[in-house]
Structure 1
């Protein structure tokens, strides 16, 4: 009896260990703990592709690839620059913060990939197309007006449409190649009040349209936001694209909403959605879908599950964010796909070839603040915590120059170097208030300096902290933590940024030796 009890006593912990190991090998929500909003997704064979919003950044409309819906890698962008206008170039006091291109629609039709987007900044709708989504080249068509939150849709009869709008949803037909509005077409309202299923007390009218056709029926996904409630998924269904449409609330949990449908080669269905999650940004979730009475039923008992029957994440490094030693092949003036410029760059003022193994940023004009610094190089932060480090050679800064590492959004902070009165200082600057404040400075007497920024998004604490080192080993905190805040002014999660700008005279430059990102925060001495 004792021997049998011992045996059972041994088996129970072993069984629990195996269960925990099996759970650890499953995917968890959020599937991407980083700012990847307004996703649109297609599957081609056994490969998934996803586009997202990055607004005022260049290049824009990132394309990501996955084999399992969980582990994603950046493979391309739909465009290098959206348009050559002052607001996108950060010129003449204009900017496109929070604007640029918004929610894209990704489709695959008869061997061609299509990515559509729209921009308030230019008042246009853009259709990008390519046979090879990972390598291009892309063909672009643009036309007015800017169709808000539209869904590109290729119907079985060869006709092509956009569904767009907020609350009152409209349909407009495009040409067969989706290059513009079909001549002579008349747009029509297909749903008078798409917010109605979520109740009468609506704060955000139904928008973010994504249209699908499954087994001969049309399904239109939208997000709405009842006052005093949470972001909500509303789905409408119809037998004809022109209607009549019937709608229902499909998911109301955790504020996870806005997205669409995707299926696996095995016939499993998921909804891809996202959640507003503080300063890290808008983060993607997957929700299992079952079909009942020809309606997609989202979630598990109406809830967003914490685990998914999909492979576990291998982490976001290096697929979504990555370190960079700035060693590039000779003559290749290009950067890793994880990088995006804050607005359109001036390509004559940056280089990864002038000094091997370094990113050189040269000032080309005088600016009043970091807010208008041309050629700030950025990439996402990731949650729940992350850390970015860099080393910078400041020998060739001019008087009045400012250069360094920032946690970038409307309410930013940065650590770096100011050249002032023939001397250089290590400074931490807070941009939490309307006027930036230099919180602390210490003299710098050497040409190379190491900088570090930590971002802590745990439980939406959203704290940013800054450090410097003279040898790359011993780190000293500088200034004060910043409270990172997601704002509609920038409409995106915080990003790491490398920058250099002049306040007195153009022509100075700095060399960044590397940028290294980690999904943990190391203790400092």
Structure 2
């Protein structure tokens, strides 16, 4: 008996997670790029980039720098223009709003961003970062990769640019630039990284520590990796001296954050293939007035911070599409691909279901409106859904996508009076129907798996007629992070018409799991 107890105890010690095990890099294994972080008391807030998605400019909250939860968005709609509305054959993939700057000043939260799509710099303010509301304003021009900065004397600035960095002073209410204040701050900010320039210094974030100004930038030497550059000055207007402070694993672009107990970290991201650009934390020490990043110049795998509790349900989440009166229509994990047509989706027309109704004719999945998305997560994940397709019209196509330029789909097509389950593979740049299976019932279960382990970046698609027995369909999708979309792969629920608008489908649920389920029973409700 004692021997059996000893063996059981040994087994538990081997298989159970270690008590007190700390955080590991990456902090978030999902597409959360261009992050800006502030600390207010003992609470951290983070903004990030989601470009063409709506709502946009996500705001997240943490008590420990590791476990983050969505708390809101700075805007519902950036602007109503053809590119953001997917109208007249236009889109704004890879554009929309980019890297943001997040600040807290005299009781007000500020988050600013810029957009090639609108040609503007956008400013959002609120007294309550978790509940809003946000007040929006904007001015021209669009200041690329800018950092907003409130100095101790009450003056407010923006620094922006690529390679050549410029600075302007803003009006007190941030409604625009003070005339005559624009000037070049650093002529060649890339210089510390050497002459072999690929990506010039950009991604500015400015901090003031112990009376000195520290400007963080990223550069990418040709044949090298993303590199962190810091310039330091005694005066905000310079002169600045610069040096490389980190060059490891391509982890770069971000800035500084301190903890209530006086520890310092750099928050950065890493390009990690098809899952996207994923956040890392790097310990910082101060030596001779300079931030020293990493452990012996390297990005550590483990951190002296609390362990992650996982990304589900705070970064991604399953959804049964049931709502109480006090619930928001859509949980914050969801974003529409471009601006939605709100009249064409509903959670109330059929209780416990998301209804997507077609409103026009489209012949390209990437230009179809009202695709509802959320992030994939690494190192692996599975998304599944069930759809009632009984009210589709001839020419309709509805289902589950892995969205990027080289996308994959599994769904139901209604053609020539018959419905079929199809898998579409667009890894070649052209959508190719890889397999078609006749469907003779009104409900079908669909599943997509994404395997990002060791940057394998492959996806598989499945269907089921009962939610229990699954059959793989079509080809294995080789996922690729493409610059035209500039975003990690996202799960997407879609429905669009190719002949006659007005048909609709009802999604019964969406489930996400942090594992590959294969022919297992993912998707059972």
TM (norm. structure 1) is: 0.95
CA offsets 1:20-68 (integer angstroms, 9 cap, x no match): 825x610000000000000000000000000000000000000000000
Give the structure 1 partner of residue 18 of structure 2.
Answer: 21
Give the structure 1 partner of residue 231 of structure 2.
Answer: 236
Question: Are residues 1:209 and 2:204 paired?
Answer: yes
Asked whether the 8 Å contact 2:51–2:97 carries over to 1, the reply is: yes
Give the structure 1 partner of residue 3 of structure 2.
Answer: none
| Cα separation, partners in 2 of 1:472 and 1:69, compared to 1, 3 Å | same
Question: Are residues 1:116 and 2:131 paired?
Answer: no
Give the structure 1 partner of residue 148 of structure 2.
Answer: 152
Question: Are residues 1:58 and 2:54 paired?
Answer: yes
Q: Counterparts of 1:54-133 in structure 2 under 5 Å?
A: 54-133=50-129
Q: Partner of 2:216: helix, strand, or coil?
A: strand
CA offsets 1:303-345 (integer angstroms, 9 cap, x no match): 0000000000000000100000011124967200000000000
Q: Partner of 2:454: helix, strand, or coil?
A: helix
Count matched residues: 511
Which 4+ residue blocks in structure 1 deviate beyond 2 angstroms?
16-22, 329-333
Counterpart-to-counterpart distance in 1, 2:118 and 2:511: 35
Counterpart-to-counterpart distance in 2, 1:212 and 1:373: 42
Counterpart-to-counterpart distance in 1, 2:222 and 2:208: 31
Q: Which moved more, 1:514-523 or 1:205-214?
A: 514-523
Counterpart-to-counterpart distance in 1, 2:266 and 2:125: 25
| Cα separation, partners in 2 of 1:185 and 1:230, compared to 1, 3 Å | same
Q: Counterparts of 1:465-504 in structure 2 under 5 Å?
A: 465-504=460-499
RMSD: 1.7
Q: Please list every run of 5 or more consecutive structure 1 residues that lacks an aligned counterpart in the other structure.
A: 1-9
Give the structure 2 partner of residue 7 of structure 1.
Answer: none
Within the candidate set 287, 291, 295, 2:286 is matched to 291
Give the structure 2 partner of residue 442 of structure 1.
Answer: 437
Asked whether the 8 Å contact 2:193–2:229 carries over to 1, the reply is: yes
Instruction: Give, in angstroms, the shift of residue 185 of structure 1.
Output: 3.2
Q: Partner of 1:481: helix, strand, or coil?
A: strand
Within the candidate set 241, 248, 263, 1:246 is matched to 241
Counterpart-to-counterpart distance in 1, 2:237 and 2:497: 56
Give the structure 1 partner of residue 134 of structure 2.
Answer: 138
CA offsets 1:230-250 (integer angstroms, 9 cap, x no match): 100000000001000000000
TM (norm. structure 2) is: 0.95
Counterpart-to-counterpart distance in 2, 1:129 and 1:39: 18
Give the structure 1 partner of residue 220 of structure 2.
Answer: 225
| Cα separation, partners in 2 of 1:34 and 1:278, compared to 1, 3 Å | same
CA offsets 1:273-297 (integer angstroms, 9 cap, x no match): 0000000000000000000001000
Q: Partner of 2:474: helix, strand, or coil?
A: coil
Q: Partner of 2:83: helix, strand, or coil?
A: helix
CA offsets 1:334-391 (integer angstroms, 9 cap, x no match): 2000000000000000001111100000000000111111000000000000000000
Q: Partner of 2:162: helix, strand, or coil?
A: coil
Asked whether the 8 Å contact 1:332–1:353 carries over to 2, the reply is: no
Instruction: Give, in angstroms, the shift of residue 434 of structure 1.
Output: 3.1
Q: Partner of 1:427: helix, strand, or coil?
A: strand
| Cα separation, partners in 2 of 1:353 and 1:17, compared to 1, 3 Å | closer
Asked whether the 8 Å contact 2:405–2:429 carries over to 1, the reply is: no
Within the candidate set 430, 443, 456, 2:425 is matched to 430
Within the candidate set 326, 342, 345, 2:340 is matched to 345
Instruction: Give, in angstroms, the shift of residue 435 of structure 1.
Output: 2.4
Asked whether the 8 Å contact 1:141–1:180 carries over to 2, the reply is: no
Counterpart-to-counterpart distance in 1, 2:328 and 2:172: 37
Instruction: Give, in angstroms, the shift of residue 175 of structure 1.
Output: 1.2
CA offsets 1:454-484 (integer angstroms, 9 cap, x no match): 0000010000100000000010000011000
Give the structure 1 partner of residue 448 of structure 2.
Answer: 453
Counterpart-to-counterpart distance in 1, 2:157 and 2:424: 49
Give the structure 1 partner of residue 523 of structure 2.
Answer: none
Within the candidate set 319, 327, 332, 2:314 is matched to 319
CA offsets 1:197-231 (integer angstroms, 9 cap, x no match): 01011100000000000010000000000111110
Give the structure 2 partner of residue 4 of structure 1.
Answer: none
Counterpart-to-counterpart distance in 1, 2:500 and 2:327: 29
CA offsets 1:112-157 (integer angstroms, 9 cap, x no match): 0000000000100001000000110111110100000000000000
Counterpart-to-counterpart distance in 2, 1:30 and 1:338: 20
Q: Please list every run of 5 or more consecutive structure 2 residues that lacks an aligned counterpart in the other structure.
A: 1-6, 521-525
Instruction: Give, in angstroms, the shift of residue 169 of structure 1.
Output: 0.4
Counterpart-to-counterpart distance in 2, 1:424 and 1:201: 56
Question: Are residues 1:177 and 2:180 paired?
Answer: no
CA offsets 1:376-426 (integer angstroms, 9 cap, x no match): 000000000000000000000000000000011000000010001111000
Counterpart-to-counterpart distance in 2, 1:341 and 1:29: 29
Give the structure 2 partner of residue 335 of structure 1.
Answer: 330
